[in-house]
Amino acid sequence: MTGLVFGKVFFAGSDPLIDTLKAFGVFFIGFVARPIGAAIFGHYGDRIGRKATLIVTLLMTGIATAAVGLVPGYDMIGIWGPVILTLLRLIQGIGVGGEWGGSVLLAMEWAAAIRIGGSSPPGRNSAPPPGCSWRTLRS
């Protein structure tokens, strides 16, 4: 739904399909930035602490998300509307990438070690259960 609205607001083209594809391209930038954020904040999480970097990534993601709602459209500031939107999605992606890895690792480190088999290994909860892919292929 947002891709359809962003296409009309931020991209002033004659073809609605192309405008929608441009809007989805902006979303794609956010997904491309996630591994970059994981690498950056993974490094700083080891250096200065995961809790501090988690606070920074939460602030980055939250501020960028709020700022997306404040960006004026193409009719008000021209090409700078989509440029600002793309930069904010890049910042959002970097923040989410650092937030995901850091929060999972922080949760595993703070988890109770008194369990059957000890604490769960890193990355254990970062993937869907194996049955999900089988059910998807089967249906």
Q: pLDDT tens digits, residue range 48-57?
A: 988 899 999 9
pLDDT in tens, 61-90: 999 999 999 999 888 998 999 999 999 999
The dihedrals phi and psi of 93, each to the nearest 5 degrees, come to: -65, -40
Residue spans of beta strands (DSSP E) within the chain: none
| Residue numbers in the chain where pLDDT is lower than 50 | 114, 116, 135
Residue 85: which of 1, 28, 16 has the closest Cα? Answer: 28
Tell me if 94 sits within 8 A of 33, measured CB to CB: yes
Report pLDDT for 127. 55
The amino acid occupying position 72 is P
38: nearest Cα among 93, 90, 98, 106: 98
Q: What is the pTM (predicted TM-score) of this model?
A: 0.75
Are the C-beta atoms of residues 94 and 37 closer than 8 Å to each other? yes
